[in-house]
Amino acid sequence: MISNGKNFTVILGFVLVSLAIAFTSPAGARTEGEVDTELWLSSGDSFFGGESVTNFRVDHLRGNLTDYPNMLTQALYWPNTNNTLFDTGLALSGDLEIPLVGGDSSELGDMSLLLDGYFAEDFGPDYPIGTAGGSSRISFDKEQLDFWVTKGIVNYGGFSYRAVFLLEDIKESSPSILRGISNQVIFGTEDDISTEARAELKKVQTGKLSFKDISPLTLREILEAIPRETLEKELGVSSNYGSGLQLAVSGMKISGVSLELKTRLGMVPNPGEMVGEDPGSGYDVFNSEGRYGGYTGSEVEINGIEAGPVRFDTTSRFTAENGYEETAVEFSLEEESLGFVLDGTMTYSSDKKTLSLEPSLDLEWACFDVYTEIKPGELTEEKNEITGLNLKGYGMNELQIGNVKVSFLETIGDTKLQRRIGEADWRLRATDYELSSDTEFSYEGRSFIYNKTDYDGVLSLEGGGGNLEVAVDIYWEDEGNSLFGISELAGEGSYRISESFELTNGLVFSLDGLKKVIVNTVYSW
């Protein structure tokens, strides 16, 4: 928790930055802001539920930054996003989030502050011959700096030259930081973590699960349960912070084929942060042995090789421990008329060669979808025979009946609905759920963006008119004890009072009655 004095300091700093932006805006610049408050009312000890939060945001924009702040700053330094500069101009942004707690508490809660900066300009003596820019993000959580990541980029002559510098609290470097900590310390946290995390840790102890397959949420719980003094002793460091550097050059020269060379010093990618499940820089400031600094590894990527209907992308990896690690060749074959897609990966290393194929079939008729999975989902040298077609579910997307839109999604067999991490059911419709987590947000064969729910199906009804929008969602489980297996009912109603103010209410009912009441207000200018 942050003390009252530190709360006041952070809030005052944010207000001063906002006022400075507002009163120093030159001609042609614009300043935008938003106050978004979400109150979760419950019958517990606290009037506000644990999800209640207020978010203050101020953006100062100059130039032609039409897409800001939609992932513009992140796209400059996150590893899984486009590496090219977007529009030219200047952008400064501040985002302050304050979780709300019960009235009997003297604390405001665990505040977080995020500051973004972006700048890009064309250069050339008479006419633009290239673009140079940079992006920076500073994140404060509780009473200290979480991370500071800065990227510089120059596009010139068909090539892009980039550098990323990272300064990060060692507490934020999960999961790679755990590679430098003894098993005794890790297993000693079992009394201080949640039941779900304890179950995963128990599987590691019994050999049923490896550390690299533990969920990012469990890794974060383990890391937070280890005292800072123990961390510093285990890692052999005296500072709470580490730093890293990444250098990269890429270009596109022949028939759309691009080449990228990347070298990292003292830092490695963090999969959970890369795809947005965990807030963070996208990197950890430790190499694979849990040490600070030094050469970590390199990658050589060749993307966009096309041979008829097949596209090939190759990645060769080198590490400080093993030198040459592996070369992965990913290919994709899509037959649009049949809805058949075949994705595959060939991996070559010094001691083995592997081949995996992932066939899929997309069946869609008008607004009706059938979700299928070819069995087995992955073909290898050991499992090289397609045994059948597995139906995962079916659904209907936004069928218009009068003034009401109807959507539903039903699973088959052991499949369950999946929702994006951090999303709440009352905000979602049937079209927002997934039956498979194999998406563009996967990394190294794992998905970090979706959580499995207990629901087997959902029916959504949407309607409204003018400034009013209303939605009702009905969820059911095959093994439910109620009529038709209904397990939850959620409703959302929003009304735009003016161009600057919007009010949204949400209700969540379970079998026991009213479960949650949510009041959301958004004021923007």
Give the list of residues 6+ apart from residue 483 with CB closer than 8 angstroms, or none. Answer: none
* pLDDT for residue 296: 82
71: helix, coil or strand?
A: coil
For tokens 């530190």, the residue is 6
Residue 187 resides in a domain: no
Strands (E), 288-352: 295-307, 310-319, 323-335, 340-349
Give the list of residues 6+ apart from residue 402 with CB closer than 8 angstroms, or none. Answer: none
Among 142, 168, 190, identify where a domain stops: 142
Among 82, 110, 142, identify where a domain stops: 142
107-116, 272-281, 314-323: which is most confident: 314-323
- Across-strand partners of 126? none
pLDDT band (50, 70, 90) for residue 221 = confident
Task: Answer whether 248's CB lies under 8 Å from 263's CB.
Answer: yes
Characterize 114-123 residue by residue with b for buried, 16 or more Cβ atoms within 10 angstroms of its Cβ, and e for exposed. Answer: bbbbbbbeee
167-171, 270-274, 364-368, 412-416: which is most confident: 412-416
177: helix, coil or strand?
A: helix
Measuring CA to CA, which residue among 144, 152, 153, 149 is closest to residue 166? 149
Residue 329 to residue 357: CA distance in whole angstroms? 12
How is residue 74 written in tokens?
């992140």
| More confident of the two residues 380 and 4 | 380
| CA dihedral sign of residues 274, 277, 281, 283 | negative
* pLDDT for residue 2: 40
Task: Answer whether 285's CB lies under 8 Å from 243's CB.
Answer: yes
pLDDT tens-digit map of 81-106: 445 565 788 888 888 888 876 544 44
Residue 325 resides in a domain: no
Measuring CA to CA, which residue among 212, 192, 214, 191 is closest to residue 201? 214
- Across-strand partners of 390? 373
* pLDDT for residue 81: 44
Residue 159 resides in a domain: no
Residue 93 to residue 99: CA distance in whole angstroms? 20
Residue 158 resides in a domain: no
| More confident of the two residues 519 and 284 | 519
* pLDDT for residue 19: 53
Among 74-78, 211-215, 481-485, 516-520, the range scoring the smallest mean pLDDT is 74-78
Residue 517 resides in a domain: yes
Residue 474 resides in a domain: yes
How is residue 141 written in tokens?
């959580």
Residue 139 to residue 116: CA distance in whole angstroms? 9
Based on DSSP, count helices (H) and strands (E) in the chain, helices before strands: 7, 28
pLDDT tens-digit map of 446-490: 455 677 888 999 999 999 888 999 999 999 998 766 667 889 999
Sequence letter at residue 102: G
* pLDDT for residue 26: 58
> Which helix (DSSP H) or strand (DSSP E) does residue 4 occupy?
helix 4-23
* pLDDT for residue 175: 56
How is residue 186 written in tokens?
């890790």
How is residue 204 written in tokens?
């590691």
* Average pLDDT of the chain, as a whole number: 77
| CA dihedral sign of residues 168, 174, 180, 186 | positive
What's the domain range around 108?
1-124+131-142
Task: Answer whether 438's CB lies under 8 Å from 345's CB.
Answer: no
Task: Answer whether 164's CB lies under 8 Å from 149's CB.
Answer: yes
pLDDT tens-digit map of 139-175: 887 667 888 888 888 888 888 888 989 888 776 655 5
Residue 341 resides in a domain: no
- Across-strand partners of 395? 369, 409
Q: Of all residues in the chain, what percent carry a pLDDT higher than 90? A: 15
> How much is the average pLDDT of 302-310?
84
pLDDT tens-digit map of 124-141: 777 777 888 888 888 887
| More confident of the two residues 36 and 443 | 36
| CA angle centred on 73, ends 71 and 75, rounded to 5° | 65
- Across-strand partners of 354? 347
Residue 120 resides in a domain: yes
DSSP 147-176: EEEEEEEEEETTEEEEEEEEEEEGGG-TTG
What radius of gyration do the chain's Cα atoms show? 25
| CA dihedral sign of residues 170, 176, 177, 178 | positive
* pLDDT for residue 300: 93
Domain count, the chain: 2
* pLDDT for residue 204: 84
Residue 433 to residue 453: CA distance in whole angstroms? 10
User: Residue 97: phi, psi to the nearest 5?
Assistant: -115, 125
55-69, 168-182, 373-387, 450-464: which is most confident: 450-464
Sequence letter at residue 124: G
* pTM, full prediction: 0.72
Is pLDDT at 431 greater than 80 in this prediction?
Answer: yes
By residue count, the chain amounts to: 525
Is pLDDT at 48 greater than 90 in this prediction?
Answer: no
Task: Answer whether 40's CB lies under 8 Å from 48's CB.
Answer: yes
How is residue 85 written in tokens?
């500069």
* pLDDT for residue 323: 87
